[in-house]
Structure 1
Amino acid sequence: MELTPLSIEGAWSVSTKHFGDDRGIFLEWFKDGPFSDATGHGLNLAQANCSVSAAGVLRGIHYADVPPGQAKYVTCARGAVLDVVVDLRVGSPTYGQWDSVLLDDVDRRGIYLSEGLGHGFVSLEDNSTVMYLCSTPYAPEREHEVNPLDPAIGIDWPTVGRDGTPLTFELSAKDQAAPTLEQARAAGALPTLEQTEAWRSSL
């Protein structure tokens, strides 16, 4: 397991070694040692989630109030998704910017997102199965979203699936009604870089 920093500070792409034979493959999709070496702290596991999505389902951009926020370690056990991280931290040098990692059942990469970063993905085929390890439990009163189609963020979501079929985006009602990045900032709903750095330094 190897973590490579993304262009957004506090986010890493995770690659794994696969050991296969005629029975299938084996891999270690999470290991505390390499994770702690890269991030400077262990993963405080409080909840594990699994979502299964049809092709074109777009989930996000989701984030939680800081402190404590919610860090996520994400991989795709079946199918394929384009997983996206957005810097929502007011005061960050990369505020409003995004980066992405293709998560699928071939390369079996992962992504880790620290507290204060926004997360979303689009499913590139039916039954794409995404697994999350989360640092805090789900708390509806602390959970928020930013519209994933906000042109000011400008995420380059794929328009065709893994098999080349055109994708029709399907969003939840909550994600469709989500504010733009600027609206969320004006409402004081976004975390600040200072808040997130203070929290991460306490881990």
Structure 2
Amino acid sequence: MTYTETKLKGCFILEPTVFEDERGYFFESFNETKLAAILGYTPHFVQDNQSKSQFGVVRGLHMQGGEHAQAKFVRVVEGKVLDVAVDVRSGSPTFGQYVAVELSAENKQQMYIPRGFLHGFSVLSEHAVFFYKCDNNYHKESEDGINPLDPELAIDWQIPAEQMILSQKDQEAQSFEELRLKLI
């Protein structure tokens, strides 16, 4: 497995070692010992989630706050997405900055997103099956997030505006500035 820390401290892109032959391929999608060696601590994942979405869907930007914050270990099982993590850790030198990484079933790359980040993705293929592990259970009362089209962040979701599909919740979500004022 190879890994690269992004410009956002603690946020990693991981690429598993893939073994291919005439039968297909095999790779280790998760190994606690190897991930702990990369992170410097052992995450304890308690929940797995999976979603299927069509081209143009933008999900996010979401997080859980406080004691219910979640780290996520994400990958794509089918299709291709643009995966986005936004640093909203109080006092972080990269607060408000984001990374965007193309994850696909083909490239098999994964991303580890620590607690204190907004997370979202856009579907770039006809459909995508997105899978992720969380180190804390879902807690509705701790949900937070911002509109993924917030002009301050100006994320290029690589989807034409007229083809974007957002939930009503995400369309009505607060601005990045409103979230910033809550976090300070």
TM-score range, shorter chain: over 0.9
Q: How big is each residue's C-alpha offset from its partner over 1:87-107, in whole Å with a ceiling of 9 and x where there is no partner?
A: 112321111111011110111
Alpha-carbon RMSD across the aligned residues, in angstroms, is 1.5
Residues 36/167 of structure 1: CA separation in 2 closer, same or farther (3 Å cut): farther
Match of 1:50 in 2: 50
2: CA distance between counterparts of 1:68 and 1:122? 25
**Contact 1:96 1:153 (C-alpha < 8 Å) held by counterparts:** yes
CA distance in 2, matches of 1:41, 1:167: 43
C-alpha distance in structure 2 between counterparts of 1:81 and 1:102, whole Å: 6
Question: Which stretches in structure 2 are left out of the alignment for 5+ residues?
Answer: none
Q: How many pairs does the alignment contain?
A: 184
Task: Give, in whole Å, the separation in 2 of the partners of 1:114 and 1:126.
Answer: 29
In structure 2, the residue matched to 1:147 is 147
Q: Is the 8 A contact 1:70 1:134 kept in 2?
A: yes
Pairwise CA distance, 1:167? 7.1
Q: Per-residue deviation at 1:182?
A: 0.5
CA shift at 1:112, angstroms?
Answer: 0.4
Tell whether 2:184 aligns with 1:184. no
Q: Does 1:125 align with 2:125?
A: yes
Residue in structure 1 matched with residue 135 of structure 2 by the alignment = 135
Q: CA deviation at 1:185?
A: 2.1
TM-score (norm 1): 0.86
The one-letter code of the counterpart of 1:114 is P
Cα deviation for residue 67 of structure 1 reads 2.4
Give the residue type in structure 1 aligned to 2:69.
G
Does the CA contact (< 8 Å) of 1:66 and 1:115 recur in 2? no
For the 8 Å contact 2:146–2:175, the answer to whether it is kept is: yes
| Structure with a larger share of its residues in strand | 2
> Sequence identity, in percent?
37
- Structure 2 counterpart SS, 1:59: strand
- Residue 66 of structure 1 deviates from its aligned partner by 2.5
Give the TM-score normalised by the residue count of structure 2.
0.95
Amino acid at match of 1:111: M
Q: Which stretches of structure 1, 4 residues or longer, exceed 3 Å deviation after superposition?
A: none
- Contact 2:68 2:139 survives alignment (8 Å): no
1:81 CA displacement = 0.2
Which position in structure 1 is the counterpart of 2:30?
30
Match status 1:103 vs 2:100:
no
Q: Which amino acid aligns with 2:172?
A: A
Residue 167 of structure 2 aligns with which residue? 172
In structure 2, relative to structure 1, the CA distance for the partners of 1:97 and 1:89 (3 Å cut) is: same
- In structure 2, do the counterparts of structure 1 residues 107 and 167 end up closer, same or farther at CA, with 3 Å as the change threshold? farther
